[in-house]
Structure 1
Amino acid sequence: MMSEQPVQVVLVEDDDVLRIAAKQTFMLADVPVADFPRAEPALAMLAAGSAAVVVTDVRLPGMDGMELLQQVHAIDADLPVILVTGHGDVRMAVEAMRLGAYDFVEKPFAPERLLEVVRRAVDKRRLVLENRALKARLASSDEVAAIIGDSAPMRELRRLVTELGDTDVDVLVCGETGTGKERVARGLHAAGRRHKGNFVAINCAALPESVFESEMFGVEPGAYTGATRSRAGKIEHASGGTLFLDEIEGMALPLQAKLLRVLQERVVERLGSNRLIPVDCRVVAATKLDLAAEATAGRFRADLYYRLNVVSIALPPLRERSEDIPRLFAAFCQQAAERYSRPLPELSVELFDWLMAQDWPGNVRELQHAADRFVLGLWRVNTEIAGSGPNSLAQRVAGFELSLIEGALRRSGGDVAAAAEALGLPRKTLYDKLARYQVDVERYRAG
């Protein structure tokens, strides 16, 4: 499970009274805080990847808040910096936002206002750090760590894969389409002593009966017209490694009998040869059906089922571990952004809430395709994310949000800053929502 270091507030304020008061506000809210009267020592404790949010006064002795903002972003461009400005420093605040400040709070301010802004920044920083950790996990060669999810079923799955990996026991992996059965098979291969051998994956449902023997067992010259040289089959190629039989339920019954003999004897006989070749491979089979029920119904050989089902691993569908969806989606977005050379779009809490509310019948594979479309800009908020019907929950929530924004703009006479304050939103967030809903602010100023 990914460790979560608490995000700490780095508070910079040269006024002792204000600094102590702000520190007490954070401490009473159980928000970790380190306070400094100057920017230089605060900057010294920050590094790329720091679990921190900076809250700094603009006017400081020595390095001021604006310079601190630039220095912090030179270290880590995603580290949130909140500026505290004096009354009348609006021009400076606008410049700070242009330079990438997360938000600014104008003096005098209520402690609740500062705490609200900081909590949003902490949530954003935590999400950024989790996304980076996921990227590192996916980039590693550790196939077990790449089985993503912190739900109880996924933690148990990683434990099983780790424990079974270094054994030679054959494993049957069961789960709906798109749940990650091949990922588990690769994890079993990577976690064991066979990891230096070949991982050979075969889609049993896609292998034509006419070429089954030559592909699986190999061929000798003269076995059939066009066979001019010896060639090892898939099973022989997997010797010393792992043979992954995907969609085993799709294999025809006559072919199942031929496979059973190989699995029992651990020998293959190339087409056109009488020589038995020993094979030493671990077998992992995968199915989306209940093979016991298929065997009872006569659609799958019972003896092959019992031969494969030495140890069984059941993968839960995505709808039964929805708490894993945000991390999975963030990881897939990161992969897609790199694959398509696109910027990583902003991932919001609202988006994650919507994703977690879906059934995802295609499971992890469907979620990955959704992430690809999201990164490519093919997912429209007002169509797919809002739901397919006019009365979908997501669309009703979006309509309610739009009505609140329009009401705030109407009351403020089109003053976006005042509307953001009334809604409790950072100005940048409100501007993003205005663009999303295509709201004409001038219309409210004219009224």
Structure 2
Amino acid sequence: MTGFVTRQTVFFVDDDAELRTANSQSLELAGIEVRAFADAQSALNEIDAGFEGVLVSDIRMPRIDGLQLFARVAGIDPEIPVILITGHADVAMAVSALRDGAFDFLPKPFAADHLIAAVRRALETRRLVLDNRRLRAAAVEVDSPLIGDSAAMVRLRESIAQVARAEIDVLLEGETGTGKELVAAMLHRQSPRAPRPFVAVNCAALPEAFAEIELFGHAADAVPNARFARTGRIEASSRGTLFLDEIDGMPIALQARLLRVLEEREVQPLGSDRPVSLDLRVIAATKRDLAEMVAEGSFRSDLYFRLNVVRLNIPPLRERRGDIPQLFAHFTAEAADQTAQGEFRMTDAIRRRLLEHDWPGNVRELRNFAFSAALGLSEQPDAAPEEGAMALTESVGRYEESLIRETMTRAGGSVTRAMALLQTPRKTLYDKFRRYGIVPEDYRRSRKTH
């Protein structure tokens, strides 16, 4: 590859110069960057697994035809979207190519808007695939991210290996910071779906106003200022794995639509009257007890039972304290690699912290502490507060977190009592739980043991 292809470029291949020019101009007028090729080999010479765009090709061409070109591109990277242009006699071949993984086909003659809409969907799909590849590449210890030799971690790794190859949905339960996304990624990588997309969606972080569009996509002109269709995250994960993180934070209005997707294995974009069939595996994760949420009325019972096919529990760090030294050593080594700080020196204060602290933020908190220790910051006295809005915001946040934690202790873990004491609505309180990593079950457990 020559290296000068920019992001999100369309390679348009057609031996008919007039059609090649006309369709390239239509895409360019829509703001889409295009490179046109008169033959398949010229395009192949500039495509590798890092290609960030999509391919549009006529089927009927000399030497290497569109179907052969599709097969060769699939050999380079099966997730590069390929759109085939077909004459009437080639439709059956195009349908067969769809079954083999082609993204779409356009029967001649087609309107420019149809080409633009198909290309935009393909570009969005490619963007999601590459984004998720980058996220997976950034994960620590890709081959074995779950560090620890405790009995709990050994059982968890065995369960992952057993469940990964089964075509069943999975519910992951675990507190904030325990590594639910890493477990989901391991389930995907060890499954037959590994070459296909792993699409992660944080349900609690989706703005309610845009959640439907983000998940389900929309047809052309279905929403204001959107001339072209958009592929939703659910459709983009077809043939791969859809990871629904913090499913407990999904607005209840969306839960009914998600339930239908899971039951029917099809999605209907907003404004469209044609559902799209899905080949999908779903992994959902929660840091709250969904059964309790069902009892409270904040989570649909039918969705809970649909998700709860196989359940894996990820233990908190306080229940596998024997793994702390190994984890800490791993993270300090990682910090040394990233910061060039040299050899790490253990101190009595750090050792006491590792032995005595309960790690409510779990592995995520331990990693942050390890990086601070590696940088020599862990034993420094608290810095004097800075002036300005940022310091004020941080101080208010610390006070708010402390107040909520104290109230949950007084309430014995009862969310209803804490709501009354704080005079705070349930949704607002749960939003703050998520922000500060507060888990009501921890306070109920504390109440039972004292």
Q: Which residue of 1 aligns with 2:308?
A: 309
1:417-428 equivalent positions in 2, closer than 5 A = none
Give the aligned residue type for 1:316.
P
Partner amino acid for 2:369? A
Partner of 2:195: 196
Q: Residue 27 of structure 1 aligns with which residue?
A: none
Deviations 1:226-262 (A, max 9, x none): 2122221101111111111111111111111111100
Q: Residues 295-306 of structure 1 correspond to what in structure 2 (within 5 A)?
A: 295-306=294-305
CA separation of 1:157/1:143 partners in 2, compared to 1, >3 Å: closer, same or farther? farther
1:357, distance to aligned residue in structure 2 (A): 2.2
Question: SS at 2:271's partner residue?
Answer: coil
Question: Alignment length, in residue pairs?
Answer: 247
C-alpha distance in 2 between matches for 1:148 and 1:350: 24
- Structure 1 residue 273: deviation in Å? 1.2
Alpha-carbon distance change, 144 to 153 in structure 1, aligned in 2, over 3 angstroms: farther
The structure-2 alpha-carbon separation of the partners of 1:371 and 1:230, relative to structure 1 and needing over 3 Å to count, comes to same
- Look up the SS of the partner of 2:326 in the other structure: helix
Matches of 1:281 and 1:343, distance apart in 2: 46
**What residue in structure 2 maps to residue 39 of structure 1?**
none
The percentage of aligned residue pairs carrying the same residue is 49
Q: Please list, as runs of the form range in 1=range in 2, the aligned pairs for 1:97-112 lying within 5 A after superposition.
A: none
Which residue in the other structure is 1:268 paired with? 267
Three-state SS of the structure 1 residue aligned to 2:332 is helix
User: For 1:139 and 1:247, how far apart are their aligned partners in 2?
Assistant: 21
Checking the alignment, whether the CA contact within 8 Å between 1:329 and 1:371 is kept in structure 2 is: yes
Alpha-carbon separation, structure 1, partners of 2:171 and 2:304: 9
Q: Which residue of 1 aligns with 2:394?
A: none
* Distance in 2, Cα, partners of 1:378 & 1:286: 33
Task: Compute the TM-score of the two structures, normalised by the length of structure 2.
Answer: 0.52
Do 2:219 and 2:229's aligned partners in 1 also have CA atoms closer than 8 Å?
yes
Conserved? CA contact 1:144–1:162, under 8 Å? no
Q: Secondary structure at the match of 1:231?
A: coil
Cα deviation, residue 225, structure 1: 1.6
Is 2:353 the counterpart of 1:363?
A: no
How far the C-alpha of 1:341 sits from its partner, in A, is: 2.8
Q: Deviations over 1:129-171 (max 9, x none)?
A: xxxxxxxxx9999746221110000000000011111112111
- Contact 2:350–2:378 (8 Å) recurs in 1: no
Other structure's SS at 2:172 match:
strand
TM-superposed CA distance for 1:285, in Å, is: 0.6
Over residues 397-436 of structure 1, what are the superposed CA-to-partner deviations in whole Å (9 max), with x where a residue is unaligned?
A: xxxxxxxxxxxxxxxxxxxxxxxxxxxxxxxxxxxxxxxx
Question: Which residue of the partner structure matches residue 330 of structure 1?
Answer: 329
TM-score, normalising length: structure 1: 0.52
Q: 2:293 maps to which residue?
A: 294
CA 1:144 to 1:274, structure 2 compared with 1: closer, same or farther past 3 Å? same
Q: What 5-or-longer segments of structure 1 have no aligned partner? A: 1-137, 385-447
SS of the residue 1:259 aligns to: helix
Q: Deviations over 1:40-89 (max 9, x none)?
A: xxxxxxxxxxxxxxxxxxxxxxxxxxxxxxxxxxxxxxxxxxxxxxxxxx
Tell me the CA shift for residue 339 of structure 1.
2.0
* Partner AA of 1:231 in structure 2: R
Q: CA deviation at 1:351?
A: 4.0
- The alpha-carbon deviation at position 356 of structure 1 amounts to 2.9
Alignment of 1:130-209 (within 5 A): 143=142, 145-209=144-208
The 1-side partners of 2:351 and 2:322 are apart by 10
The aligned counterpart of 2:247 is 248
Give the gaps of 5 or more residues in structure 2. Answer: 1-136, 384-450
TM-superposed CA distance for 1:379, in Å, is: 1.1
Q: 1:196 is matched by which residue type in structure 2?
A: P
Alpha-carbon distance, 1:221 to partner: 1.5
User: In structure 2, what residue type is equivalent to 1:340?
Assistant: T
Aligned twin of 1:223: 222
Cα distance change on mapping 1:142 and 1:190 into 2, 3 Å: farther
- Name the CA shift for 1:275/1:289 in 2 (closer, same or farther; >3 Å): same
Distance change >3 Å, CA 142–CA 191, structure 1 → 2:
farther
Distance change (3 Å), C-alpha of 1:143 and 1:281 = farther
Q: Secondary structure at the match of 1:213?
A: helix
* Rounded Cα–Cα distance in structure 2 between residues aligned with 1:160 and 1:263: 23
Give the whole-Å Cα distance in 1 for the aligned partners of 2:351 and 2:319: 16
RMSD: 2.3
Cα gap change, 1:360 to 1:310, in 2 (>3 Å)? same
Larger gyration radius, structure 1 or structure 2: 1
- The 3 A distance-change label for structure 1 pair 382 and 269 is closer
In 2, the alpha carbon distance for the partners of 1:234 and 1:308 equals 18
Name the CA shift for 1:325/1:168 in 2 (closer, same or farther; >3 Å): same
C-alpha separation between the residues in 1 aligned to 2:140 and 2:360?
Answer: 29
